Chains A and B, each alone.
Chain A
């Protein structure tokens, strides 16, 4: 009885959310839409990193590199090849999958901190490589590449606001994001997800159970890189500019912050993580003009005290407390279904 009512509310809630998402761009100014676009793009990137670090326990301090590669693939194809922006996405995914898979090989041998260093090294090397003179004619070298923002294909207006470039991009990015989240959801809720977590928590036992560790770990790296690469390509289109200075080590660190703040091993956590990394620097700037990053740092530390399992973990706990009387059967609620694939990596060990 309870479950059917809950189901109905779920669907109604979902529908309302969908309508809000669809109408949102016309209710706010273009600049806000641009910010929403960046949030969605970061959500995809953070989700990618979460697959690797949250679910599979392989720490990566270098996902900014994959974001950069995806961005440059898109930029180069658009500038030199005249490709339309949407066609660059699959290729960005493919190229980044390739690089990610290759990263999987040293990752197999390196654990924990050593892998962190290797990925950190990747994050540092990529901007230098992008500036390299020999490939300057492709990458634009230190000057970068200026891109043309795509025009909306149709004329449309709602609430007096026209369908601008940013609003059109919003729908494109929203669709891509929903697609990527769906893919991740299907992957992680099933056997693959369980295998990943098994590898994270008890690698030897997992291998003993027949999970092919090297293949899985490399594939995970590849998939994770592909997700972030797609985000990078979308980012290049949304900002309409790429240059080596946009992809420093700090970007990689920012993604990691997004993963942890949003919640390890959580798909919807990626959204909270993205909202954090997009907006909190602005909030910090409002609070203190002279030392905004100090405020950001304080935010980070306080958040880690208050919600060490991330925003998703906090929300799941809160929902869990509400659901306690009812939930004998888990009717597909993310709170209870997420329990086996929990966000508590074996305490202290990487």
Chain B
């Protein structure tokens, strides 16, 4: 029983990580209707920036918030400069640009910061929260941070004028333009927010998995699966999807199929779920006029 509980909690902790990446993916999707394959690498790069600042002597929380600000600006700039020329191009063209960004971030991170693993400090050391044998303080902290981010995001989108403008721009760009919303800038803000969320995800993940250029590649897939499982246009779905994927992966590995095949089986299950519910568990079915 204890082992079972342990696996569940461990799964929830991992799930928190997947949920944060999924949230960033959903964020970009909601504003641009594209899935950003470079999300993981951008998050990793932000984490390296935070690490570098801390190496230079900055205290944790200063570096944390500064990184978020820098990542926001970075995301915005990338959208305005690199993605703007292909805004109107077919989807696959955009996908290739994302792939290009992915390899660039990965390669530059390896070049500037090298490939040896680095420990990354946690703001929630032992004893700062309720913790037990089942989960560390950091894991609790991660989930709490992520819920905070979700709450902030939700309120921003729901209750602020800019949030409203962003949602309008995503749903119906033409009409949004007609009422005076600067759609292109909304896209940019969407990217900035996603980059910032990604940075938070990266900084929460790094203490557990250790920082290196390949840190996020394994996580990105699970984040992708979580986002789609929950419904690509639903932030709450992304979070719940993340937890489900985390727990599922752990339980499958421990009790059902063994660690050698757990990745394959987890993916089969996710695909099967999608086949039964093609818009994800909580997504909205999109109905178009013919």
Contact = CB atoms under 8 A, between A and B. Distances in A.
- Please tell me whether chains A and B touch each other in their complex, using a CB distance cut-off of 8 A: yes
Interface of A: 53, 59, 105-106, 109-111, 113-114, 116-118, 120-122, 124-125, 128-129, 131-133, 204-205, 249, 253, 256-257, 259-261, 264, 290-294, 296-301, 303-305, 308, 344-345, 347-350
A132 B260 contact: yes
Interface of B: 29, 33, 35, 82, 85-86, 88-93, 95-97, 99-104, 106-108, 110-111, 221, 224-225, 228, 232, 260-261, 263-264, 267-268, 270-272, 274-275, 278-280, 290
Given A110-B278, A348-B90, A348-B91, 8 more contacts: A109-B275, A110-B271, A113-B35, A257-B99, A264-B92, A294-B111, A301-B82, A347-B88
Given A117-B228, A348-B91, A304 B270 contact: no
Contacts of A205: 290
Contact of A301 (B92, B101, B228): B101
A264 B102 CA distance: 22
Given A113-B228, A293-B107, A297-B107, A106 B271 contact: yes
Given A291-B111, A308-B86, A297 B104 contact: yes
Contacts of B86: 304-305, 308
B88 A296 contact: no
20 contacts: A59-B91, A106-B275, A110-B278, A111-B278, A113-B29, A114-B278, A117-B224, A121-B270, A124-B221, A128-B260, A129-B261, A256-B99, A260-B92, A292-B107, A293-B104, A296-B100, A296-B103, A297-B107, A308-B93, A348-B33
Contacts of A291: 107-108, 110-111
B99 A300 contact: yes
A17 to B, nearest CB: 29
Given A110-B274, A301-B101, A117 B225 contact: yes
B97 A300 contact: yes
A133 B260 contact: yes
A298 B100 contact: yes
Contacts of B108: 291, 294
B111 to A, nearest CB: 4
Contacts of B111: 290-291, 294
B74 to A, nearest CB: 16
A225 B264 CA distance: 20
A117 B274 contact: yes
Contacts of A204: 290
Contacts of A264: 90, 92
A46 to B, nearest CB: 13
Nearest to A261: B96
Contacts of A304: 86, 89, 93, 96-97, 100
Contacts of A344: 90
Given A121-B270, A348-B90, A301 B35 contact: no
A328 B271 CA distance: 50
